[in-house]
Amino acid sequence: MCDTIFKTNKLRGISDNPKGKIMYRQNSKEAFNKAKRVIPGGVDSPVRAFKSVGGTPVFIKKGEGAYLIDIDDNRYIDFVQSWGPLIFGHCDKDIQKAVVKASKKGLSFGAPVKAETKLAKEICLLFDEIDKIRFVSSGTEAVMSAIRLARGYTGRDDIVKFEGCYHGHSDSLLVQAGSGAATFGTPSSPGVPADFTKHTLLAKYNDIDSVKQCFINSKDIACVIIEPIAGNMGLVPADVEFLQELKDLCEENGALLIFDEVMSGFRASLKGATGLVKVKPDLITFGKVIGGGMPVGAFGGFEEIMDQLSPDGPVYQAGTLSGNPVAMSAGLSALKKITSSFDMYEDLEEKATLLMKGLEKEAKKVGIPLQVSVRGSMFGFFFNENEVKNFDDALQSDTKMFAKFHKGMLNEGFYFACSQFETGFISTKIKTEHIQKCIEAAAKVFKDIE
Tens place of pLDDT per residue across the chain (450 aa): 333 333 333 333 444 433 334 547 999 999 999 999 999 999 998 889 999 899 899 999 999 999 999 999 999 999 999 999 999 999 999 999 999 999 999 999 999 999 999 999 999 999 999 999 999 999 999 999 999 999 999 999 999 999 999 998 887 787 764 323 333 455 677 777 777 778 999 999 999 999 999 999 999 999 999 999 999 999 999 999 999 999 999 999 999 999 999 999 999 999 999 999 989 999 999 998 999 999 999 999 999 999 999 999 999 999 999 999 999 999 999 999 999 987 999 999 999 999 999 999 999 999 999 999 999 999 999 999 999 999 999 999 999 999 999 999 999 999 999 999 999 999 999 999 999 999 999 999 999 996
CATH class label, 93-339: alpha beta
Of 155, 187, 158, which is closest to residue 174 (Cα–Cα)? 187
Element (H, E) at 148: helix 139-154
Element (H, E) at 378: strand 378-382
Q: Do the strands 283-286 and 256-260 form a parallel or antiparallel pair, or are they unpaired?
A: parallel
Q: Give the residue numbers marked as catalytic.
A: 166, 260, 288
Digit-coded pLDDT (tens) for 259-285: 999 999 999 999 999 999 989 999 999
Contacts with 345 (C-beta within 8 Å, 6 or more apart), sequence order: 269, 270, 376, 377
Instruction: Give the per-residue pLDDT at 341.
Output: 86
Question: Rounded to an integer, what distance in angstroms lies between the CA atom of residue 62 and that of residue 69?
Answer: 5
* Contact of 353 with 424, CB cutoff 8 Å: no
Instruction: Give the per-residue pLDDT at 18.
Output: 39
Instruction: Give the per-residue pLDDT at 260.
Output: 97
Question: Rounded to an integer, what distance in angstroms lies between the CA atom of residue 397 and that of residue 399?
Answer: 6
Give the distance from CA 302 to its chain's centroid: 24
Instruction: Give the per-residue pLDDT at 216.
Output: 96
Strand partners, 350: none
Element (H, E) at 329: helix 325-339
Extents of the domains making up the chain: 4-78+342-449, 93-339
Of 182, 183, 150, 147, which is closest to residue 167 (Cα–Cα)? 147
Q: Into which CATH architecture does domain 4-78+342-449 fall?
A: Alpha-Beta Complex (3.90)
Instruction: Give the per-residue pLDDT at 22.
Output: 55
CB atoms within 10 A of CB 373: 19
Q: How many CA atoms lie within 13 A of 139 on its CB side?
A: 24
Backbone φ and ψ for 142, nearest 5 degrees, come out as -65, -45
Cis amide leading into 311 (omega within 30)? yes
Question: Rounded to an integer, what distance in angstroms lies between the CA atom of residue 77 and that of residue 391?
Answer: 29
Instruction: Give the per-residue pLDDT at 185.
Output: 54
Instruction: Give the per-residue pLDDT at 13.
Output: 40
Q: Where are the alpha helices (DSSP H) in 218-324?
A: 240-253, 274-277, 303-306
Helix (H, G, I), strand (E, B) or coil at 301: strand
